[in-house]
Amino acid sequence: MQVARYRPEDGSEATFQEYEVPCRKEWAVLDGLNYIKDHIDGTLAYRWSCRMGICGSCGMNVNGEPKLTCGTFLSHYGSGPVRVEPLRNFPIVRDLIVDIGDFMRKLASVKPWIVRKTEKPLSEGEYLQTPQEHDEYKQFSMCINCMICYSACPVYGLDPHFIGPAAIALAQRYNLDSRDEGSAERLDILSQHEGIWGCTFVGECTKVCPKNVDPAGAIQRYKLTAAVDLMTSFFMPRGGR
């Protein structure tokens, strides 16, 4: 395996270090990294947690493609070498660890939670939802915040102000939720230039998503919503929103 190394205390640029790792059939790239960490070089730094494609913390570039390393098998690359780099478009803190602060700020800005103008009293019970209403947003709720879509998005790489695919997809997840009443608040944030209009529909976010979420589709649908909202508020200023 060829693994990217960056140690800020050295004041040097990022380099690659080669390791000999057994290529076992059932091993994912993350297993290879764990083998290096446990048996060869304990100084290697990377993030991981669940090893089952749920936590979204082990996203890295594997042979140039952004992947969840727990779901990408070493055997897929034959006898190697397998080149592992940090996710693109993010600042590298150390080795394979990137700074996710920008994404976390942007995610919070779109209010990815159910917004209610007034909560109904507990005595009235829970907010019921039909299977059809659940299906409306289910796909977008599969997002695990792994940021692989940001790594594949050239728009985010070129313009760090762009809110980005996952944050918009998650905003759409709550907009499409029948229990939510916060779509107007989110639209104010996302209808800015750095929001949905920054997207040029490259579509890579959807192709690389390990959970089959369609952020590109979410963004284009949001553009349609924003355009309709704009026209409605223009022609019906009192009844628009």
β-strand 2-5 against 83-85: which pairing, if any? parallel
Contact between 5 and another protein by CB under 8 A: the answer reads no
Binders of another protein among 170-199, rule CB under 8 A?
189, 192, 194
Print the binding letters for residues 208-227 with another protein: x by CB under 8 A, - otherwise. Answer: ------x-xx--xx--x---
Interface with another protein (CB under 8 A), residue from 200, 227, 228, 231: 200
What is the phi-psi region of residue 80: left when phi exceeds 0, alpha when psi lies from -120 to 50, beta otherwise? Answer: left
Binding window for another protein (CB under 8 A); candidates: 115-123, 140-148, 203-211, 229-237: 203-211
What are the residues whose beta carbons fall under 8 Å from the beta carbon of 52, sequence distance 6 or more? 70
233 binds another protein (CB under 8 A): no
Where in 22-81 is the site for another protein (CB under 8 A)?
Answer: 64
Candidates 23, 93, 115, 226: give the one binding another protein (CB under 8 A): 93
CA atoms within 13 A on the CB side of 32: 31
Q: What is the size of the binding site for another protein (CB under 8 A)? A: 44
Taking CB under 8 A as the rule, does residue 163 contact another protein? yes
Q: Are strands 15-18 and 65-68 parallel, antiparallel or unpaired?
A: unpaired
The three-state secondary structure class of 108 is: helix
Q: Looking at 17, 109, 141, 191, which residue binds another protein (CB under 8 A)? A: 109
Residue with tokens 């995610």: 107
Q: Is 88 in the site for another protein (CB under 8 A)?
A: yes
111: how many CB neighbours lie within 10 A of its CB?
Answer: 17
Give the one residue of 39, 76, 105, 116 binding another protein; rule: CB under 8 A: 105
Mention every residue, 6+ apart, whose C-beta is less than 8 A from residue 32: 1, 21, 74, 82
- For the bound state, the minimum distance from the C-beta of residue 91 to another protein, rounded and expressed in Å, comes to 4
Residue 169 engages another protein in binding (rule: CB under 8 A): no
Instruction: Give CA separation, 41 vs 8, 34, 36, 64, 71, in Å.
Output: 18, 10, 6, 23, 23
Residues that bind another protein (CB under 8 A): 6, 8, 13-14, 64, 88-93, 99, 101-102, 105-106, 109-110, 132, 135, 154, 157-158, 160-163, 167, 189, 192, 194, 200-204, 206-207, 214, 216-217, 220-221, 224
